[in-house]
Structure 1
Amino acid sequence: MSTKGQGLALRDTAQKGQARPAEHVAIIMDGNGRWATQRGWPRLVGHRKGAERVKEIVRCAPDLGIRWLTVYAFSTENWKRSTEEVVGLMSIFARYIEREADRLAAEGVRMRFIGDRTPLNPKLRRLMDGIEARTAPFNRLNLTVAINYGGRDELTRAMRAMAADVAAGRLAPEAITDALISARLDTADLPDPDLVIRTSGETRTSNYLLWQTAYAEYEFTPTLWPDFSPAELAQIVARFGNRERRFGGVVSA
Protein backbone atom coordinates (compact mmCIF):
# COMPACT_ATOMS: atom_id res chain seq x y z
CA MET A 1 0.00 0.00 0.00
CA SER A 2 1.30 3.47 -0.85
CA THR A 3 2.08 6.04 1.83
CA LYS A 4 -1.00 7.99 0.74
CA GLY A 5 -3.12 4.85 0.92
CA GLN A 6 -1.82 4.03 4.38
CA GLY A 7 -2.66 7.57 5.50
CA LEU A 8 -6.23 7.25 4.25
CA ALA A 9 -6.65 3.87 5.95
CA LEU A 10 -5.36 5.27 9.25
CA ARG A 11 -7.65 8.27 8.98
CA ASP A 12 -10.65 6.01 8.36
CA THR A 13 -9.78 3.92 11.43
CA ALA A 14 -9.37 6.96 13.65
CA GLN A 15 -12.57 8.63 12.45
CA LYS A 16 -14.78 5.55 12.54
CA GLY A 17 -17.51 6.41 15.04
CA GLN A 18 -15.39 9.26 16.38
CA ALA A 19 -17.33 12.05 18.08
CA ARG A 20 -14.36 14.38 18.55
CA PRO A 21 -10.71 14.38 17.49
CA ALA A 22 -7.72 14.07 19.78
CA GLU A 23 -6.04 17.21 18.51
CA HIS A 24 -3.23 17.18 21.08
CA VAL A 25 -1.71 13.80 21.88
CA ALA A 26 1.10 13.46 24.42
CA ILE A 27 3.13 10.26 24.50
CA ILE A 28 5.36 8.73 27.17
CA MET A 29 7.65 6.67 24.94
CA ASP A 30 8.58 3.84 27.27
CA GLY A 31 10.18 0.46 26.69
CA ASN A 32 13.15 1.09 24.40
CA GLY A 33 15.65 -0.48 26.80
CA ARG A 34 13.50 -3.51 27.52
CA TRP A 35 12.86 -4.01 23.80
CA ALA A 36 16.61 -4.25 23.21
CA THR A 37 17.34 -6.34 26.32
CA GLN A 38 14.73 -8.91 25.31
CA ARG A 39 16.70 -9.41 22.11
CA GLY A 40 20.08 -9.57 23.81
CA TRP A 41 21.13 -6.18 22.44
CA PRO A 42 22.54 -3.08 24.19
CA ARG A 43 19.90 -0.62 25.45
CA LEU A 44 21.07 2.07 23.03
CA VAL A 45 19.97 -0.13 20.14
CA GLY A 46 16.45 0.13 21.53
CA HIS A 47 16.73 3.91 21.79
CA ARG A 48 17.84 4.15 18.16
CA LYS A 49 14.91 1.96 17.13
CA GLY A 50 12.65 4.21 19.23
CA ALA A 51 13.88 7.27 17.33
CA GLU A 52 12.92 5.55 14.08
CA ARG A 53 9.46 4.93 15.52
CA VAL A 54 9.11 8.64 16.32
CA LYS A 55 9.58 9.41 12.63
CA GLU A 56 6.74 7.05 11.67
CA ILE A 57 4.36 8.44 14.27
CA VAL A 58 5.15 12.03 13.27
CA ARG A 59 4.50 11.16 9.64
CA CYS A 60 1.08 9.60 10.31
CA ALA A 61 -0.18 12.01 13.00
CA PRO A 62 -1.78 14.62 10.70
CA ASP A 63 -3.76 11.88 8.93
CA LEU A 64 -5.32 11.05 12.32
CA GLY A 65 -6.44 14.61 12.99
CA ILE A 66 -3.59 15.25 15.42
CA ARG A 67 -2.38 18.85 15.29
CA TRP A 68 -0.10 18.79 18.33
CA LEU A 69 2.13 15.87 19.25
CA THR A 70 4.22 16.09 22.43
CA VAL A 71 6.68 13.28 23.21
CA TYR A 72 8.65 12.56 26.37
CA ALA A 73 12.23 11.94 25.27
CA PHE A 74 14.35 12.48 28.42
CA SER A 75 13.18 13.26 31.94
CA THR A 76 14.91 15.16 34.73
CA GLU A 77 15.27 11.77 36.45
CA ASN A 78 16.94 10.08 33.48
CA TRP A 79 20.31 11.57 34.46
CA LYS A 80 20.47 8.72 37.00
CA ARG A 81 21.14 6.27 34.18
CA SER A 82 24.66 5.16 33.24
CA THR A 83 26.96 7.74 31.67
CA GLU A 84 27.17 5.58 28.55
CA GLU A 85 23.40 5.56 28.11
CA VAL A 86 22.98 9.29 28.79
CA VAL A 87 25.77 10.25 26.37
CA GLY A 88 24.32 7.86 23.80
CA LEU A 89 20.85 9.35 24.15
CA MET A 90 22.16 12.88 23.69
CA SER A 91 23.94 11.73 20.54
CA ILE A 92 20.72 10.17 19.24
CA PHE A 93 18.83 13.43 19.89
CA ALA A 94 21.44 15.45 18.00
CA ARG A 95 21.50 13.00 15.10
CA TYR A 96 17.71 13.02 14.86
CA ILE A 97 17.63 16.81 14.61
CA GLU A 98 20.40 16.88 11.99
CA ARG A 99 18.89 14.14 9.85
CA GLU A 100 15.23 15.10 10.13
CA ALA A 101 15.44 18.89 9.70
CA ASP A 102 14.89 18.83 5.93
CA ARG A 103 12.05 16.31 6.07
CA LEU A 104 10.23 18.09 8.89
CA ALA A 105 10.41 21.38 7.02
CA ALA A 106 9.26 19.77 3.77
CA GLU A 107 6.27 18.18 5.52
CA GLY A 108 5.24 21.36 7.32
CA VAL A 109 6.13 20.18 10.82
CA ARG A 110 7.02 22.73 13.48
CA MET A 111 9.44 21.34 16.07
CA ARG A 112 9.85 22.75 19.57
CA PHE A 113 11.40 21.64 22.83
CA ILE A 114 10.35 21.91 26.47
CA GLY A 115 12.42 21.36 29.59
CA ASP A 116 15.48 22.92 31.17
CA ARG A 117 18.18 23.19 28.51
CA THR A 118 20.87 24.46 30.89
CA PRO A 119 22.58 21.07 31.52
CA LEU A 120 22.57 20.04 27.84
CA ASN A 121 25.77 20.25 25.84
CA PRO A 122 26.25 23.40 23.71
CA LYS A 123 26.12 21.57 20.37
CA LEU A 124 22.75 20.01 21.17
CA ARG A 125 21.37 23.35 22.36
CA ARG A 126 22.50 25.01 19.11
CA LEU A 127 20.81 22.28 17.06
CA MET A 128 17.63 22.68 19.08
CA ASP A 129 17.63 26.45 18.60
CA GLY A 130 18.31 26.04 14.90
CA ILE A 131 15.51 23.62 14.09
CA GLU A 132 13.05 25.64 16.18
CA ALA A 133 13.86 28.74 14.14
CA ARG A 134 13.82 26.90 10.82
CA THR A 135 10.45 25.21 11.37
CA ALA A 136 8.72 28.12 13.13
CA PRO A 137 6.62 29.09 10.06
CA PHE A 138 4.98 25.65 9.79
CA ASN A 139 1.85 24.31 11.45
CA ARG A 140 0.66 21.16 9.67
CA LEU A 141 1.84 19.38 12.83
CA ASN A 142 3.27 20.91 16.00
CA LEU A 143 5.87 18.47 17.33
CA THR A 144 7.11 19.19 20.85
CA VAL A 145 9.92 17.14 22.36
CA ALA A 146 10.44 17.10 26.13
CA ILE A 147 14.17 16.90 26.92
CA ASN A 148 15.42 17.24 30.51
CA TYR A 149 11.80 17.81 31.37
CA GLY A 150 9.93 17.10 34.60
CA GLY A 151 6.52 18.37 35.60
CA ARG A 152 7.62 19.27 39.12
CA ASP A 153 10.74 21.01 37.85
CA GLU A 154 8.66 22.99 35.36
CA LEU A 155 6.22 24.09 38.07
CA THR A 156 9.07 24.95 40.44
CA ARG A 157 10.73 27.15 37.82
CA ALA A 158 7.43 28.89 37.09
CA MET A 159 6.68 29.46 40.79
CA ARG A 160 10.15 30.89 41.41
CA ALA A 161 9.74 33.32 38.52
CA MET A 162 6.35 34.48 39.79
CA ALA A 163 7.66 34.77 43.37
CA ALA A 164 10.49 36.99 42.09
CA ASP A 165 7.96 39.18 40.28
CA VAL A 166 5.84 39.48 43.42
CA ALA A 167 8.89 40.36 45.53
CA ALA A 168 9.90 43.03 43.01
CA GLY A 169 6.43 44.53 42.95
CA ARG A 170 5.81 43.55 39.33
CA LEU A 171 3.03 41.11 40.17
CA ALA A 172 0.25 41.24 42.75
CA PRO A 173 -0.41 37.90 44.49
CA GLU A 174 -4.13 38.18 43.76
CA ALA A 175 -3.32 38.43 40.05
CA ILE A 176 -2.01 34.85 40.04
CA THR A 177 -4.63 32.71 38.29
CA ASP A 178 -4.78 29.35 36.55
CA ALA A 179 -4.32 31.15 33.24
CA LEU A 180 -1.25 33.04 34.47
CA ILE A 181 0.38 29.86 35.76
CA SER A 182 -0.25 28.16 32.41
CA ALA A 183 1.32 31.14 30.66
CA ARG A 184 4.51 30.75 32.74
CA LEU A 185 5.01 27.08 31.89
CA ASP A 186 7.20 25.66 29.12
CA THR A 187 4.02 24.82 27.20
CA ALA A 188 2.61 28.36 27.24
CA ASP A 189 2.03 28.33 23.49
CA LEU A 190 0.41 24.88 23.41
CA PRO A 191 -3.13 23.74 24.19
CA ASP A 192 -3.51 21.21 26.99
CA PRO A 193 -3.31 17.57 25.84
CA ASP A 194 -6.55 15.79 25.05
CA LEU A 195 -5.00 12.33 25.25
CA VAL A 196 -1.92 10.87 26.95
CA ILE A 197 -0.54 7.52 25.82
CA ARG A 198 2.04 5.49 27.72
CA THR A 199 3.64 2.48 26.13
CA SER A 200 5.33 -0.59 27.70
CA GLY A 201 2.63 -1.61 30.20
CA GLU A 202 3.57 0.82 32.97
CA THR A 203 0.59 2.68 34.44
CA ARG A 204 2.16 5.78 36.00
CA THR A 205 2.49 9.30 34.67
CA SER A 206 6.19 9.71 35.57
CA ASN A 207 6.16 13.45 36.24
CA TYR A 208 4.94 14.28 32.73
CA LEU A 209 2.90 17.42 32.07
CA LEU A 210 1.40 17.37 35.57
CA TRP A 211 -0.45 20.68 35.27
CA GLN A 212 -1.44 20.37 31.64
CA THR A 213 -3.01 16.90 31.84
CA ALA A 214 -5.47 17.65 34.65
CA TYR A 215 -8.38 16.72 32.36
CA ALA A 216 -6.64 14.57 29.76
CA GLU A 217 -7.77 11.06 28.90
CA TYR A 218 -5.18 8.31 29.41
CA GLU A 219 -4.38 5.13 27.52
CA PHE A 220 -1.84 2.59 28.78
CA THR A 221 -0.71 -0.01 26.27
CA PRO A 222 1.57 -3.03 26.88
CA THR A 223 3.28 -2.42 23.55
CA LEU A 224 6.93 -1.42 23.88
CA TRP A 225 7.65 1.88 22.15
CA PRO A 226 9.76 0.46 19.26
CA ASP A 227 6.78 -1.76 18.38
CA PHE A 228 4.12 0.97 18.69
CA SER A 229 2.62 1.29 15.23
CA PRO A 230 0.59 3.96 13.42
CA ALA A 231 -2.25 1.41 13.30
CA GLU A 232 -2.31 1.11 17.11
CA LEU A 233 -2.23 4.90 17.43
CA ALA A 234 -5.22 5.10 15.08
CA GLN A 235 -7.15 2.61 17.22
CA ILE A 236 -6.42 4.56 20.41
CA VAL A 237 -7.44 7.83 18.78
CA ALA A 238 -10.68 6.20 17.63
CA ARG A 239 -11.47 5.04 21.18
CA PHE A 240 -10.77 8.53 22.49
CA GLY A 241 -13.36 9.95 20.12
CA ASN A 242 -16.11 7.94 21.81
CA ARG A 243 -15.31 8.98 25.37
CA GLU A 244 -17.49 11.45 27.25
CA ARG A 245 -15.37 14.33 28.53
CA ARG A 246 -17.44 16.17 31.14
CA PHE A 247 -14.71 18.29 32.81
CA GLY A 248 -16.53 18.04 36.15
CA GLY A 249 -19.98 18.65 34.70
CA VAL A 250 -22.73 16.30 33.56
CA VAL A 251 -23.84 15.15 30.15
CA SER A 252 -26.99 16.86 28.89
CA ALA A 253 -29.95 14.56 28.47
Structure 2
Amino acid sequence: MERVRQWARGAYERLLEWEVSGTPSHVAVIQDGNRRYARNRGDDATDGHRAGAETTEQVLEWCQELGVEELTLYTFSTENFDRPEEENEALFDLLCEKLREFADADRVHDSGVRIRAIGETQQLPERVRKAVDYAERRTAGYDTLNLNIALAYGGRAELLSAARDVAREVERDGLDPDEIDVATVERRLYEGPSRDVDLIVRTGGDERTSNFLPWHANGNEAAVYFCTPYWPEFRKVDFLRSIRTYEHREESWRKTRARRALALVRALGEAEVSEARRVLQRFKGALPSAEREALEAETDTDPELEQPAD
Protein backbone atom coordinates (compact mmCIF):
# COMPACT_ATOMS: atom_id res chain seq x y z
CA MET A 1 0.00 0.00 0.00
CA GLU A 2 2.87 2.37 0.73
CA ARG A 3 4.27 1.78 -2.77
CA VAL A 4 0.82 2.49 -4.22
CA ARG A 5 0.60 5.73 -2.25
CA GLN A 6 4.06 6.78 -3.41
CA TRP A 7 3.14 6.03 -7.01
CA ALA A 8 -0.09 8.03 -6.68
CA ARG A 9 1.72 11.00 -5.14
CA GLY A 10 4.32 10.89 -7.90
CA ALA A 11 1.64 10.75 -10.60
CA TYR A 12 -0.22 13.68 -9.03
CA GLU A 13 2.99 15.68 -8.77
CA ARG A 14 3.73 15.10 -12.47
CA LEU A 15 0.17 16.15 -13.33
CA LEU A 16 0.56 19.40 -11.39
CA GLU A 17 3.91 20.09 -13.06
CA TRP A 18 2.27 19.61 -16.44
CA GLU A 19 -0.60 21.96 -15.51
CA VAL A 20 1.63 24.77 -14.25
CA SER A 21 2.12 27.27 -17.06
CA GLY A 22 3.08 30.47 -15.25
CA THR A 23 5.49 30.97 -12.40
CA PRO A 24 5.48 33.86 -9.89
CA SER A 25 8.62 35.95 -9.86
CA HIS A 26 8.68 36.34 -6.07
CA VAL A 27 7.43 33.76 -3.56
CA ALA A 28 7.37 34.52 0.18
CA VAL A 29 6.99 31.70 2.69
CA ILE A 30 5.84 31.70 6.32
CA GLN A 31 7.50 28.53 7.60
CA ASP A 32 5.06 27.63 10.35
CA GLY A 33 4.74 24.42 12.34
CA ASN A 34 8.31 23.36 13.17
CA ARG A 35 7.67 23.22 16.91
CA ARG A 36 4.30 21.49 16.60
CA TYR A 37 5.84 18.94 14.25
CA ALA A 38 8.52 18.17 16.84
CA ARG A 39 6.01 18.07 19.72
CA ASN A 40 3.81 15.57 17.88
CA ARG A 41 6.83 13.32 17.45
CA GLY A 42 7.98 13.69 21.04
CA ASP A 43 11.09 15.63 19.99
CA ASP A 44 12.60 18.93 21.10
CA ALA A 45 11.76 22.15 19.27
CA THR A 46 15.31 22.21 17.90
CA ASP A 47 14.65 18.93 16.10
CA GLY A 48 11.64 20.52 14.41
CA HIS A 49 13.68 23.52 13.30
CA ARG A 50 16.38 21.24 11.89
CA ALA A 51 13.77 19.22 9.97
CA GLY A 52 12.35 22.49 8.67
CA ALA A 53 15.80 23.54 7.44
CA GLU A 54 15.84 20.45 5.22
CA THR A 55 12.51 21.53 3.71
CA THR A 56 13.97 24.98 3.07
CA GLU A 57 16.74 23.43 0.97
CA GLN A 58 14.16 21.49 -1.06
CA VAL A 59 12.03 24.59 -1.67
CA LEU A 60 15.10 26.42 -2.95
CA GLU A 61 15.63 23.62 -5.47
CA TRP A 62 11.98 23.73 -6.57
CA CYS A 63 12.19 27.48 -7.10
CA GLN A 64 15.24 26.99 -9.31
CA GLU A 65 13.47 24.27 -11.30
CA LEU A 66 10.40 26.43 -11.93
CA GLY A 67 12.21 29.69 -12.62
CA VAL A 68 11.23 31.65 -9.50
CA GLU A 69 13.55 34.64 -9.30
CA GLU A 70 13.14 35.59 -5.65
CA LEU A 71 12.34 33.65 -2.48
CA THR A 72 11.77 35.28 0.91
CA LEU A 73 11.60 33.11 4.04
CA TYR A 74 10.02 34.31 7.29
CA THR A 75 12.59 32.67 9.53
CA PHE A 76 12.54 34.64 12.79
CA SER A 77 10.12 37.44 13.67
CA THR A 78 10.54 40.16 16.27
CA GLU A 79 7.84 38.40 18.31
CA ASN A 80 9.98 35.24 18.42
CA PHE A 81 12.34 36.93 20.89
CA ASP A 82 9.68 36.23 23.54
CA ARG A 83 10.16 32.46 23.22
CA PRO A 84 12.24 30.56 25.80
CA GLU A 85 15.88 31.64 25.73
CA GLU A 86 17.28 28.13 25.42
CA GLU A 87 15.05 27.46 22.39
CA ASN A 88 16.13 30.68 20.68
CA GLU A 89 19.79 30.02 21.41
CA ALA A 90 19.55 26.59 19.79
CA LEU A 91 17.79 28.17 16.79
CA PHE A 92 20.50 30.83 16.50
CA ASP A 93 23.13 28.08 16.47
CA LEU A 94 21.22 26.33 13.68
CA LEU A 95 20.94 29.58 11.70
CA CYS A 96 24.69 30.12 11.95
CA GLU A 97 25.34 26.58 10.78
CA LYS A 98 22.93 26.74 7.84
CA LEU A 99 23.92 30.24 6.68
CA ARG A 100 27.56 29.23 6.48
CA GLU A 101 26.69 25.89 4.92
CA PHE A 102 24.56 27.56 2.25
CA ALA A 103 27.22 30.18 1.58
CA ASP A 104 29.80 27.46 0.91
CA ALA A 105 27.56 25.04 -1.00
CA ASP A 106 28.54 24.37 -4.61
CA ARG A 107 24.87 24.25 -5.66
CA VAL A 108 24.38 27.80 -4.38
CA HIS A 109 27.35 29.12 -6.36
CA ASP A 110 26.60 27.05 -9.45
CA SER A 111 23.00 28.33 -9.46
CA GLY A 112 23.89 31.98 -8.79
CA VAL A 113 21.91 32.32 -5.54
CA ARG A 114 22.34 35.59 -3.66
CA ILE A 115 21.66 35.41 0.08
CA ARG A 116 20.50 38.49 2.00
CA ALA A 117 19.03 39.07 5.45
CA ILE A 118 16.19 41.54 6.04
CA GLY A 119 14.98 42.83 9.37
CA GLU A 120 16.37 44.38 12.55
CA THR A 121 19.47 42.21 12.37
CA GLN A 122 21.29 44.38 14.90
CA GLN A 123 19.07 42.76 17.53
CA LEU A 124 20.53 39.33 16.79
CA PRO A 125 23.48 37.78 18.66
CA GLU A 126 26.91 38.63 17.29
CA ARG A 127 27.54 35.10 16.02
CA VAL A 128 24.38 35.27 13.89
CA ARG A 129 25.30 38.69 12.52
CA LYS A 130 28.73 37.36 11.55
CA ALA A 131 27.15 34.37 9.78
CA VAL A 132 24.79 36.71 7.93
CA ASP A 133 27.68 38.91 6.86
CA TYR A 134 29.64 35.86 5.68
CA ALA A 135 26.73 34.54 3.58
CA GLU A 136 26.02 37.94 2.06
CA ARG A 137 29.65 38.55 1.15
CA ARG A 138 30.13 35.08 -0.33
CA THR A 139 27.12 35.43 -2.65
CA ALA A 140 27.06 39.17 -3.32
CA GLY A 141 27.96 38.80 -6.99
CA TYR A 142 25.00 36.60 -7.96
CA ASP A 143 21.56 37.56 -9.23
CA THR A 144 19.90 34.46 -10.74
CA LEU A 145 17.87 33.79 -7.59
CA ASN A 146 17.60 36.15 -4.64
CA LEU A 147 17.15 34.34 -1.31
CA ASN A 148 15.98 36.74 1.41
CA ILE A 149 16.10 35.50 5.02
CA ALA A 150 13.75 37.52 7.25
CA LEU A 151 15.44 37.67 10.66
CA ALA A 152 14.17 39.77 13.57
CA TYR A 153 11.62 40.97 11.05
CA GLY A 154 8.32 42.76 11.69
CA GLY A 155 6.29 44.40 8.93
CA ARG A 156 4.79 47.12 11.10
CA ALA A 157 8.19 48.00 12.52
CA GLU A 158 9.57 48.28 8.99
CA LEU A 159 6.81 50.67 7.87
CA LEU A 160 7.01 52.67 11.11
CA SER A 161 10.76 53.11 10.68
CA ALA A 162 10.26 54.27 7.09
CA ALA A 163 7.56 56.74 8.15
CA ARG A 164 9.82 58.20 10.84
CA ASP A 165 12.67 58.62 8.34
CA VAL A 166 10.37 60.45 5.93
CA ALA A 167 9.03 62.69 8.73
CA ARG A 168 12.58 63.59 9.78
CA GLU A 169 13.47 64.50 6.20
CA VAL A 170 10.38 66.70 5.93
CA GLU A 171 11.31 68.52 9.14
CA ARG A 172 15.09 68.63 8.75
CA ASP A 173 15.66 68.89 5.01
CA GLY A 174 12.49 70.58 3.87
CA LEU A 175 11.12 67.65 1.84
CA ASP A 176 7.82 68.74 0.30
CA PRO A 177 5.05 66.38 1.55
CA ASP A 178 3.45 66.58 -1.90
CA GLU A 179 6.61 65.05 -3.37
CA ILE A 180 6.42 61.92 -1.18
CA ASP A 181 5.70 58.95 -3.44
CA VAL A 182 6.16 55.18 -3.53
CA ALA A 183 9.87 55.49 -4.30
CA THR A 184 10.34 57.82 -1.31
CA VAL A 185 9.04 55.15 1.05
CA GLU A 186 10.75 52.21 -0.66
CA ARG A 187 14.17 53.82 -0.29
CA ARG A 188 13.67 53.68 3.48
CA LEU A 189 12.53 50.08 3.79
CA TYR A 190 14.84 47.25 4.80
CA GLU A 191 17.31 46.43 2.06
CA GLY A 192 16.03 43.11 0.82
CA PRO A 193 13.25 42.24 -1.65
CA SER A 194 14.02 43.59 -5.09
CA ARG A 195 10.49 43.08 -6.44
CA ASP A 196 6.91 42.90 -5.20
CA VAL A 197 5.64 39.60 -3.80
CA ASP A 198 3.41 37.58 -6.14
CA LEU A 199 2.60 34.68 -3.83
CA ILE A 200 2.62 34.11 -0.06
CA VAL A 201 2.65 30.53 1.20
CA ARG A 202 1.87 29.69 4.83
CA THR A 203 2.16 26.18 6.25
CA GLY A 204 0.84 24.84 9.55
CA GLY A 205 -2.89 25.49 9.15
CA ASP A 206 -3.19 29.12 10.30
CA GLU A 207 -4.83 31.47 7.77
CA ARG A 208 -3.10 34.79 8.42
CA THR A 209 -0.04 36.54 7.05
CA SER A 210 1.34 37.60 10.46
CA ASN A 211 2.76 41.02 9.70
CA PHE A 212 4.87 39.67 6.84
CA LEU A 213 5.98 42.01 4.04
CA PRO A 214 2.89 44.28 4.16
CA TRP A 215 4.38 46.76 1.69
CA HIS A 216 5.68 44.29 -0.88
CA ALA A 217 2.85 41.73 -0.63
CA ASN A 218 -0.42 43.37 0.35
CA GLY A 219 0.31 46.45 -1.71
CA ASN A 220 0.74 44.16 -4.72
CA GLU A 221 -2.41 42.16 -3.82
CA ALA A 222 -0.34 39.00 -3.70
CA ALA A 223 -2.03 35.62 -3.99
CA VAL A 224 -2.03 33.68 -0.70
CA TYR A 225 -1.94 29.92 -0.24
CA PHE A 226 -2.63 28.42 3.19
CA CYS A 227 -2.03 24.71 3.76
CA THR A 228 -2.22 22.37 6.75
CA PRO A 229 1.12 20.46 6.60
CA TYR A 230 3.69 21.64 9.11
CA TRP A 231 6.77 23.13 7.45
CA PRO A 232 8.88 19.94 7.78
CA GLU A 233 6.04 18.04 6.04
CA PHE A 234 5.69 20.49 3.14
CA ARG A 235 6.19 18.64 -0.14
CA LYS A 236 6.59 19.55 -3.78
CA VAL A 237 2.92 18.72 -4.38
CA ASP A 238 1.99 21.44 -1.88
CA PHE A 239 4.33 23.90 -3.56
CA LEU A 240 2.86 23.17 -6.99
CA ARG A 241 -0.64 23.64 -5.57
CA SER A 242 0.41 27.06 -4.33
CA ILE A 243 1.68 27.94 -7.82
CA ARG A 244 -1.67 26.86 -9.24
CA THR A 245 -3.40 29.18 -6.75
CA TYR A 246 -1.22 32.02 -8.03
CA GLU A 247 -2.16 31.19 -11.63
CA HIS A 248 -5.88 31.24 -10.83
CA ARG A 249 -5.42 34.56 -9.03
CA GLU A 250 -3.62 36.02 -12.06
CA GLU A 251 -6.33 34.80 -14.43
CA SER A 252 -9.05 36.34 -12.26
CA TRP A 253 -7.10 39.61 -12.03
CA ARG A 254 -6.72 39.84 -15.81
CA LYS A 255 -10.45 39.24 -16.34
CA THR A 256 -11.29 41.94 -13.82
CA ARG A 257 -8.97 44.44 -15.51
CA ALA A 258 -10.43 43.67 -18.92
CA ARG A 259 -14.01 44.06 -17.70
CA ARG A 260 -13.22 47.36 -15.99
CA ALA A 261 -11.61 48.66 -19.16
CA LEU A 262 -14.65 47.58 -21.17
CA ALA A 263 -16.87 49.51 -18.76
CA LEU A 264 -14.64 52.56 -19.30
CA VAL A 265 -14.95 52.26 -23.08
CA ARG A 266 -18.72 52.22 -22.73
CA ALA A 267 -18.78 55.15 -20.30
CA LEU A 268 -16.14 57.58 -21.62
CA GLY A 269 -16.27 59.98 -24.50
CA GLU A 270 -14.18 59.57 -27.65
CA ALA A 271 -11.51 61.97 -26.45
CA GLU A 272 -10.82 59.91 -23.31
CA VAL A 273 -11.17 56.42 -24.68
CA SER A 274 -7.70 55.73 -26.14
CA GLU A 275 -6.15 54.65 -22.84
CA ALA A 276 -9.09 52.36 -22.06
CA ARG A 277 -8.77 50.78 -25.49
CA ARG A 278 -5.07 50.22 -24.92
CA VAL A 279 -5.77 48.38 -21.65
CA LEU A 280 -8.47 46.35 -23.37
CA GLN A 281 -6.10 45.26 -26.11
CA ARG A 282 -3.67 44.06 -23.47
CA PHE A 283 -6.13 42.07 -21.39
CA LYS A 284 -8.86 41.02 -23.81
CA GLY A 285 -7.34 37.54 -24.11
CA ALA A 286 -8.33 36.92 -20.49
CA LEU A 287 -12.03 37.26 -21.31
CA PRO A 288 -14.31 34.38 -22.31
CA SER A 289 -14.86 34.20 -26.06
CA ALA A 290 -18.37 35.68 -25.96
CA GLU A 291 -17.23 38.74 -24.03
CA ARG A 292 -14.16 39.09 -26.27
CA GLU A 293 -16.35 39.13 -29.40
CA ALA A 294 -18.60 41.75 -27.86
CA LEU A 295 -15.54 43.80 -26.96
CA GLU A 296 -14.20 43.68 -30.52
CA ALA A 297 -17.56 44.76 -31.89
CA GLU A 298 -17.89 47.67 -29.47
CA THR A 299 -14.37 49.02 -29.90
CA ASP A 300 -13.82 48.29 -33.60
CA THR A 301 -10.70 46.28 -32.84
CA ASP A 302 -9.28 43.74 -35.22
CA PRO A 303 -9.96 40.18 -33.94
CA GLU A 304 -6.66 39.02 -35.41
CA LEU A 305 -4.65 41.81 -33.78
CA GLU A 306 -1.74 40.36 -31.84
CA GLN A 307 -1.78 41.17 -28.14
CA PRO A 308 1.23 43.07 -26.82
CA ALA A 309 3.39 41.16 -24.33
CA ASP A 310 2.89 41.81 -20.62
Give the structure-2-normalised TM-score. 0.73
Provide the residue aligned with 1:115 in structure 2: 119
Provide the residue aligned with 1:55 in structure 2: 57
* Equivalent residue runs for 1:131-210 within 5 Å: 131-169=135-173, 171-187=175-191, 190-210=194-214
Offset of residue 231 of structure 1: 2.9
Return the alpha-carbon distance in structure 2 between the equivalents of residues 122 and 188 of structure 1.
20
Q: Deviations over 1:191-230 (max 9, x none)?
A: 1110000000000111101111121000000010001112
Q: 1:123 to 1:170 in 2, by over 3 A?
A: farther
SS in 2 for 1:137: coil
SS in 2 for 1:237: helix
Q: 1:44 to 1:138 in 2, by over 3 A?
A: same
* Equivalent residue runs for 1:5-16 within 5 Å: 13-14=16-17, 16=19
The total of aligned residue pairs comes to: 244
Of the candidates 211, 222, 231, which is equivalent to residue 216 of structure 1? 222
SS in 1 for 2:148: strand
C-alpha contact (below 8 Å) 1:49/1:226 kept by paired residues: yes
Give the structure-1-normalised TM-score. 0.89
Offset of residue 95 of structure 1: 0.6
SS in 1 for 2:217: coil
Return the alpha-carbon distance in structure 2 between the equivalents of residues 93 and 17 of structure 1.
33
C-alpha contact (below 8 Å) 1:200/1:222 kept by paired residues: yes
* Equivalent residue runs for 1:3-152 within 5 Å: 13-14=16-17, 16=19, 18=21, 20-103=22-105, 104-152=108-156
What amino acid is the match of 1:42? D
C-alpha contact (below 8 Å) 2:148/2:192 kept by paired residues: no
What amino acid is the match of 1:208? F
Q: Deviations over 1:83-127 (max 9, x none)?
A: 011111111110101112122223311111100111111221122
Q: Deviations over 1:162-218 (max 9, x none)?
A: 111111115222121123212321156511110000000000111101111121000
Return the alpha-carbon distance in structure 1 between the equivalents of residues 222 and 137 of structure 2.
29
Q: 1:39 to 1:189 in 2, by over 3 A?
A: closer
Offset of residue 134 of structure 1: 1.6
Provide the residue aligned with 1:4 in structure 2: none
Provide the residue aligned with 1:232 in structure 2: 238
Identity %: 35
Provide the residue aligned with 1:246 in structure 2: 253
C-alpha contact (below 8 Å) 2:204/2:228 kept by paired residues: yes
SS in 2 for 1:77: helix
Provide the residue aligned with 2:290 in structure 1: none
Q: Deviations over 1:13-48 (max 9, x none)?
A: 346253x32111000000000000001111111011
Query: Unpaired runs of 5+ in structure 1?
Result: 1-8
C-alpha contact (below 8 Å) 1:182/1:188 kept by paired residues: no
Return the alpha-carbon distance in structure 2 between the equivalents of residues 131 and 168 of structure 1.
36
Provide the residue aligned with 1:6 in structure 2: none
**Bigger Cα Rg:** 2
Q: 1:11 to 1:140 in 2, by over 3 A?
A: farther
Root-mean-square deviation over aligned CA pairs: 2.1
